[in-house]
A and B are shown apart, each in its own frame.
Chain A
Amino acid sequence: MTARPIIEIRNLGKFYDGFEALKDINLTVLSGEKVVVCGPSGSGKSTLIRCINRLEEHSSGRMIVDGIELTEETKDIRAVRREVGMVFQQFNLFPHMTVLENLTIGPMRVRKIPKAEAEARARKYLARVHIPEQADKYPAQLSGGQQQRVAIARSLCMEPRIMLFDEPTSALDPEMINEVLDVMVELAGTGMTMVVVTHEMGFARKVADRMVFMERGEIVEVAPPDVFFTAPKSERCRAFLDQILEH
């Protein structure tokens, strides 16, 4: 059961007017697996995970998420999005709503859960990200790290089967990075399927089942972290690791 593939990406390609952002991507993520995607900026890693919940449309190939193939069919897209949580670099919390409202709007409007139940669920996940006392504040009143943890809780409130993280710590001040990463490590411990785009190699070592290295729209190397960090096969991957692990 745990070995069931939950994301299947086959020969995926993506063109932005004339520019080939993704080239022939093949990747299968198993249920419960933690995949960390890294690579230099502009390598297409964000584009790839945004294709998984179709915030970007792919141009060719197939993307099958939780048994549903993503096509033009908007019903299918929404069905996938309900099961796939996404955490953004810029948090993208709803600034006109309190933290609690941010967390309950999805369950109430999309899952049609009664308000009381949605609030109970929201408080449960706020506690899970260690900020139960911030429920009635507005996002602007919180620090960056707290905002990102609210964003993670907002996704979790939909009780998704997969969580996508698009450089979740890149917009944070250094002293707040760990509080977010800690929450992500704890989440990994619950058996959630996670696809994470990040440069945080310490985190990757700790939780990744597989590392994916991308460059110029292609997957260059896929390997378990112990192999990936100690003996990367490709020259480009080694050069990248040397650069970011230098310090």
Chain B
Amino acid sequence: MAEASIPGSDARSRRLTLRRMFASRIFSVALYAVVIWLIVRTAWTGAEAMGYNWQWYRVPQYLLRRTDDGFALGELATGLGASLLLSAVAFTLALIIGLVVALLRLSNLVVGKAVARAFLEIVRNMPLLVLLYLFYYVGGPIFGLDRYVASVLCLGVFHGAILSEVFRAGINSVGRGQWEAAMSIGMTRMQSYRYIILPQSVRFMLPPITGEAVNMIKSSAIVSVIAVAELTTAGRNIISDTYMSFEIWFTVAVIYLAVTLCLSVFVSHLERRFAVEI
């Protein structure tokens, strides 16, 4: 019973088999399935208990509608288009802001450095929602910004701050010797950046930049609070007409998921490609 060698090693081998079983692929998949099943069942019984009336058959018309002369895009589809357009415009702005802020921070200008630093700290330490309210409710009346412009500016500034850190890290990843070589053939700072430093740092920056594009699409949903027409706003509008909140939010979530997953796959593909090249 006590320290007999045979029972002891027996217990150890039993523990080992147990551990091997837990680590096996079949067990993980089974565990995963059980968890998912529990979540779905709980949600389902919850919805049943409150007497939710599922009306999935009414959802497809909001994606694609049959009309007299063919098909027309539904509200959710046009909303997705608007979301992507908004994200694209805001992301272009964010890239410009990010590059300018990064270059300012890396410059020798004392004032430039301070301004860039202050911008970064203010934007990074503020909730996106508050930033949006500032742009729309404060900036709107003062500068005459309409809701779309306020949204683009807000998203551009917010993600520009994050991108500036990506740019800075990418630029810093290029060795000092490259600067010295560029300078010693008489290049200006701008020429060194343009021909020598930035082309080399792109490979380091491209994966995180595309990752940030995914984040942009996700955070663009927040502009629905100031009723800018996009995917989330479209969802809200449909729900206020039809009260199908479960179906529509599920659908909206799946649409976002599909778009960002596609982008993420693209990102990991990029990461792998550039990892090999280095």
Q: Do they bind each other?
A: yes
What is A's interface to B at a CB cutoff of 8 Å?
Answer: 53, 55, 74, 78-79, 81-82, 84-86, 88, 90, 92-96, 105-106, 109-110, 154-155, 158
B181 & A94 in contact (Cβ 8 Å cutoff): yes
B186 & A110 in contact (Cβ 8 Å cutoff): yes
A158 contact set on B, CB distance < 8 A: 185-186
| Most B CB within 10 A of own CB, among A84, A85, A88, A94 | A94
Instruction: Judge if B215 is at the interface, Cβ distance under 8 Å.
Output: no
Please measure, in the bound complex, the distance between the C-alpha atom of A81 and the C-alpha atom of B188, giving whole angstroms: 11
Please measure, in the bound complex, the distance between the C-alpha atom of A185 and the C-alpha atom of B238, giving whole angstroms: 82
What is B's interface to A at a CB cutoff of 8 Å?
Answer: 177-178, 180-188, 191, 195-196, 199-200
Q: Which of B187, B188, B191, B200 contacts A95 (CB 8 A)?
A: B200
B180 & A92 in contact (Cβ 8 Å cutoff): yes
A78 & B180 in contact (Cβ 8 Å cutoff): no
Please measure, in the bound complex, the distance between the C-alpha atom of A82 and the C-alpha atom of B182, giving whole angstroms: 11
| Majority-rule SS of A interface residues | mixed
| Most B CB within 10 A of own CB, among A74, A79, A96 | A96
Please measure, in the bound complex, the distance between the C-alpha atom of A105 and the C-alpha atom of B194, giving whole angstroms: 12
A106/B200 contact (C-beta < 8 A), A55-B180, A92-B178, A92-B181 known = no
Nearest neighbor of B185 in chain A, beta-carbon distance: A106
B186 & A81 in contact (Cβ 8 Å cutoff): yes
Please measure, in the bound complex, the distance between the C-alpha atom of A11 and the C-alpha atom of B200, giving whole angstroms: 40
Please measure, in the bound complex, the distance between the C-alpha atom of A79 and the C-alpha atom of B182, giving whole angstroms: 14
Q: What are 12 sample pairs from A and B whose C-beta atoms fall under 8 A apart?
A: A55-B184, A78-B186, A81-B183, A81-B184, A85-B184, A94-B178, A94-B181, A106-B185, A109-B191, A110-B185, A110-B191, A155-B185
Please measure, in the bound complex, the distance between the C-alpha atom of A109 and the C-alpha atom of B185, giving whole angstroms: 10
A105 & B195 in contact (Cβ 8 Å cutoff): yes
A93 contact set on B, CB distance < 8 A: 181
Nearest neighbor of B182 in chain A, beta-carbon distance: A94
Least CB distance, A91 to chain B, in whole angstroms: 8
Please measure, in the bound complex, the distance between the C-alpha atom of A88 and the C-alpha atom of B187, giving whole angstroms: 17
Q: Which of B177, B186, B191 contacts A90 (CB 8 A)?
A: B177
A86 & B184 in contact (Cβ 8 Å cutoff): yes
B200 contact set on A, CB distance < 8 A: 94-96
Please measure, in the bound complex, the distance between the C-alpha atom of A96 and the C-alpha atom of B184, giving whole angstroms: 18
B177 & A88 in contact (Cβ 8 Å cutoff): yes
A109 & B195 in contact (Cβ 8 Å cutoff): yes
B188 & A78 in contact (Cβ 8 Å cutoff): yes
Least CB distance, A51 to chain B, in whole angstroms: 13
Please measure, in the bound complex, the distance between the C-alpha atom of A53 and the C-alpha atom of B182, giving whole angstroms: 12
B185 & A81 in contact (Cβ 8 Å cutoff): yes
Nearest neighbor of B191 in chain A, beta-carbon distance: A109
| Most A CB within 10 A of own CB, among B186, B188, B195, B200 | B186
Closest 8 CB pairs of A and B: A106-B185, A92-B181, A82-B186, A92-B177, A86-B184, A110-B186, A81-B186, A78-B186
Please measure, in the bound complex, the distance between the C-alpha atom of A242 and the C-alpha atom of B110, giving whole angstroms: 50
A88 contact set on B, CB distance < 8 A: 177, 180-181
A94 & B183 in contact (Cβ 8 Å cutoff): no
A85 contact set on B, CB distance < 8 A: 184-185
Least CB distance, B188 to chain A, in whole angstroms: 7
A55 & B183 in contact (Cβ 8 Å cutoff): yes
A106 & B177 in contact (Cβ 8 Å cutoff): no
A84 contact set on B, CB distance < 8 A: 184
Given contacts A55-B184, A90-B177, A94-B196, 13 further A-B contacts (CB under 8 A): A79-B186, A81-B185, A85-B185, A88-B181, A92-B178, A94-B182, A105-B195, A109-B191, A109-B195, A110-B185, A155-B184, A155-B185, A158-B185
B187 contact set on A, CB distance < 8 A: 106, 109-110
Q: Which of B177, B185, B186, B199 contacts A96 (CB 8 A)?
A: B199
B183 contact set on A, CB distance < 8 A: 55, 81
A110 contact set on B, CB distance < 8 A: 185-187, 191
Least CB distance, B155 to chain A, in whole angstroms: 32
